Amino acid sequence: MPFADLGLSDPLLRAVADSGYDEPTPIQTGTIPAVLMGKDIIGIAQTGTGKTAAFVLPMIDILGEGRSRARMPRSLILEPTRELAAQVAENFEKYGKNHKLSMALLIGGVQMGDQVKALEKGVDVLIATPGRLMDLYGRGKILLTGCNLLVIDEADRMLDMGFIPDIEEICSRLPKARQTLLFSATMPPPIKKLADKFLSDPKTVEVSRPASANLNIEQRLIITRADKKRDVLRDVLRHEEVKNAIVFANRKTTVRDLASSLKKSGFKVGQIHGDMEQAERIAEFDRFKNDDISILVASDVAARGLDVKGVSHVVNFDVPWQPDDYVHRIGRTGRAGMTGIAITLATREDAEAVAAIEKLTGHKIARVDAEGEVSAGAAPTEEAPREPRRAPRAKASPKADPVTKAEAPHERARRREEPPRTPREEPRRDPPREQREPRYEEPSREEREEEVADAPLVADAAPGWNGPLPSFLSFGAS
C-alpha cells in the first residue's frame, strides 16, 4: 500500500517523500488510518519497525487543526528515556516541516526554562519522560485537561523502569474522552491491565520483532575466555570490514575502561553511559553520527533507541543479562533496510544467557571462531573455553585486566549507597544485584526532585538536550 492511501494530508505526504520513504512499514499501514479515524491503538512493535512515524504522522494531521492554549498541551507523548524523547522530537521536526506545530520537551537532566516558557504559551505536542512530567505537574506548571491525545510509547520499558504508577496517575488526570495510543514490544500482564483500564475499544496492531525477523542482521557468537575478550574485540574491529561499530558492555565501568583501552590501541573511539552528563552524551553521539569516531562503546541505557543509519557492526563485548537487551542492541544495525553484522563475545559462564536469547529470538546464533569461520554451532556449555586461533597480542590476566577485575571496595560502597532504580515485577536470572549496573539510569524520584530544584526550568537550545534540538524548540513556540 502506498503512503498516499493512508489518508494523510498532502503537505505531510510531501514531507514523508522528502524523507526518502517509498512505502509505509506494516505498523504504519496498520495504525495510521485507524488513528486518523480517532481510534485507540495498541501497537505491539519495537524500535526499528517504523513505529515512531506510525504515531507521529497521524498526530501531525490531527493537530494541524485547532489551536493550543497556555499551559494546556493538546497532546502528550510519554517516553521512558531522554534519548527516545529526543528522537520523537526529531521525527516531529522532520515530518512536521510543512505544518506549524509547537512542541515542548520535558526530560530529566536538562534545564527546562524555555520549555516551561513554551508550555506557558501553549504547545500542540508535549514529549516527556514520566518523572519530569509529574514533577512539573506537581508544581502546577502544566494543565492536562486540554490534552485529548495520549501516546504511551515503549510501555514495557516503562514497566521495567517503575513508571507505571506515574502513568496511571497521568492517565487519570487527562480528559476521559481522549484518544490513547499505546506501543510496547511485549504485552506483559501489567501492561495489558493498563491498556484494559485506560484504552477504549482499541485496535490491536502487532508486527513481528525486527530482531527475530530481520534477516538483514547477520548474527555471530565468538566463544572465548573473559581474559581474552579485549584481544578478540580488537581482532574483530581490525579484521572485519567495520565501517563503524557500537560496542556494548554491561557495566559503566567496563564502558569507560574499554573505551580508553581501545583508544590506546589506536581506534577512533567514544563512549556513552548513564554516568555521563547529558551534554557529554550528545557530543559523543554526534561525533559518532558525523563519523568523527568510528567506534562507540555504550551501555544499554545510554544507547537505548539510538537511531544512526548505516551502523555496520554491533559488538556485544558482554552477553547482555536480559535477552530483550540483545534484541535492542543488535537492532542498532541492519536498520531501514540496510544490512549489518552483530557479533557477541561469550564465555562458558554465558551459556544460560545465550540460551535465553536464542529462545527469545527463536534463532540459533552461528558460532564462529575468532577468525570468522563458522563452527558446528556448539553451545558455550558444550564447548571447553578456548582461545581464538589468532594469538592474543598481550598476555592479560583477569587480575590485571580492568574489564574483568573485581570491583574496588569503594566502588562497592558507592554502589550500595545508590538508590534502587530498577524495580522489577519478577526476578529473572540476573547476577546478584550488587554486581549489576542498574539497567536503566533514569534518575530516581529523589534525584529527579534535586535535579528540578537545581535546574532553571527549561531548555534554551541548551546544554543537555540530546537530540536534534535547535529548530524544533523555536518551531512555532516563539
Q: Provide the binding-site residues for ligand AMP, judged by CB under 6 A.
A: 21, 23-25, 28, 47-53, 307, 335-336
10 near 150, Cβ under 8 Å? no
Nearer to ligand AMP, 50 or 80 (CB): 50
Query: What's the closest the beta carbon of residue 306 comes to ligand AMP, in angstroms?
Result: 10
Can you list the pairs that 444-448 forms with residues at least 24 positions away whose Cβ atoms lie under 8 Å?
444/419, 444/420, 445/131, 446/419, 447/419, 448/108, 448/131, 448/132, 448/135
Nearer to ligand AMP, 52 or 347 (CB): 52
Query: What's the closest the beta carbon of residue 455 comes to ligand AMP, in angstroms?
Result: 28
Nearer to ligand AMP, 122 or 334 (CB): 334
The identity of residue 361, as a single letter, is T
Nearer to ligand AMP, 336 or 461 (CB): 336
Nearer to ligand AMP, 75 or 250 (CB): 75
Nearer to ligand AMP, 9 or 444 (CB): 9
Collapsing DSSP states into helix, strand and coil, what is residue 283? helix
Query: What's the closest the beta carbon of residue 84 comes to ligand AMP, in angstroms?
Result: 9
Q: What CA–CA distance (Å, rounded) separates 31 from 8?
A: 12
Sheet holding 41-44, edge to edge: 103-106, 125-128, 75-78, 149-152, 179-184, 41-44, 203-206
Query: What's the closest the beta carbon of residue 3 comes to ligand AMP, in angstroms?
Result: 7
Write phi, then psi, for 127 (nearest 5 degrees).
-110, 125
Q: What CA–CA distance (Å, rounded) separates 181 from 171?
A: 12
13 near 36, Cβ under 8 Å? no
DSSP state of 133: H
Nearer to ligand AMP, 50 or 122 (CB): 50
Query: What's the closest the beta carbon of residue 12 comes to ligand AMP, in angstroms?
Result: 13
C-alpha cell at 414: 558507592
Which residues does 143 contact at the CB level (< 8 Å), separation at least 6? Answer: 71, 72
Query: What's the closest the beta carbon of residue 467 comes to ligand AMP, in angstroms?
Result: 13
DSSP string spanning 290-346? TTS-SEEEE-HHHHTT---TT--EEEESS--SSHHHHHHHHTTSS-TT--EEEEEEE
Which residues does 226 contact at the CB level (< 8 Å), separation at least 6? Answer: 347, 349, 398, 403, 404
Query: What's the closest the beta carbon of residue 40 comes to ligand AMP, in angstroms?
Result: 20
Nearer to ligand AMP, 32 or 346 (CB): 32
Q: What CA–CA distance (Å, rounded) separates 210 from 123?
A: 34
Nearer to ligand AMP, 23 or 292 (CB): 23
The identity of residue 81, as a single letter, is T
